[in-house]
Amino acid sequence: MSSMSWDWSVVSDNWEVLMLGAWFTIKISFIALIFSLPIGIIVGFGRIAKNPVIRFLAGAYVEIMRGVPLLVLLMWIYIGLGDVVNVETTVAAVIGLATFNGAFLAEIFRAGVQAVPKGQMEAARASGMTSAQAMRYIILPQAVRRIMPPSASQFIMLIKDSSLISVIGGVDLMLKGKNLVATTLKPLEIYTAIAVIYFIMTFVLSLVIRYFEKRMMDKEQ
């Protein structure tokens, strides 16, 4: 029975390559987050709109995005749109991640707004505010405090979901790792390193999120 030979030097020898992939992962995740925020806000407002057509369209978008696997969505955007216009890999990745993440942010936004007691809106209107003013000055500040923690957690999920862009050629951490496995024939070492890097990225982000959450709680007290 042959013993398994592990050679961890392959990780240190290719550390710069893995770091380039990790940087691309962080960068494309952040860009996708920037684009998904307005999508989430607009669709979130649509989910609570009085107009039934707008509510239906917003709800349909959310259900479709939640029902279609991200991998399928990325492939459809890259291949489907590629038949119509020339879509670069990075652009397709951002579009896919942003539209997918935007649906989940929309639900977080909707839940945050609806969690504010209805009496707050009624009291604001009774004091002479318009609906828009009440939403801006009374409802949204309270909703933001409820929205921040799950939104931050969704960003962590976005970073992990971004590993799927490697299937369309995105030069992220996963694709860099796959290429290294093909050249070094050391899958265990490379994929272990990738797992550790993903853990470090998400763990550090979690610590940053907890820090800001604690600061927000301290300000409220």
- DSSP of 187-209, one letter per residue? HHHHHHHHHHHHHHHHHHHHHHH
Residue range 100-129: mean pLDDT, rounded:
85
Number of domains observed in the structure of the chain? 1
Sole residue written with tokens 């992939």: 21
- Top pLDDT among 60 and 129 is at 60
Confidence of residue 219 (pLDDT cuts 50, 70, 90): low
Position 213 pLDDT exceeds 70: yes
Which amino acid is present at 72? V
Would 80 be classed as within a structural domain? yes
Between CA 32 and CA 43, with CA 37 as vertex, the angle to 5 degrees is 120
Would 89 be classed as within a structural domain? yes
CATH number of the domain residue 110 falls in: 1.10.3720.10
CA distances from 190 to 20, 44, 127, 128, 203 (A): 14, 40, 62, 63, 20
Structural domain including 100 reads 24-170
Q: What per-residue string of b and e applies to 81-119 under the rule 16 or more CB within 10 Å gives b?
A: eeeeeebebbebbbbbbbbbbbbbbbbbbbbbbeebeee
Would 190 be classed as within a structural domain? no
Would 63 be classed as within a structural domain? yes
Q: What per-residue confidence (pLDDT) applies to 38? A: 95
Confidence of residue 203 (pLDDT cuts 50, 70, 90): very high
Would 189 be classed as within a structural domain? no
Q: What per-residue confidence (pLDDT) applies to 115? A: 83
Would 101 be classed as within a structural domain? yes
Q: What per-residue confidence (pLDDT) applies to 2? A: 43
pTM, two decimal places: 0.86
- Top pLDDT among 155 and 142 is at 155
Two structure tokens written together for 193: 């390193």
Q: What per-residue confidence (pLDDT) applies to 98? A: 96
Would 176 be classed as within a structural domain? no
Residue range 144-170: mean pLDDT, rounded:
88
Would 76 be classed as within a structural domain? yes
- Top pLDDT among 7 and 46 is at 46
- Write down the mean pLDDT value for the chain: 88
- Top pLDDT among 158 and 141 is at 158
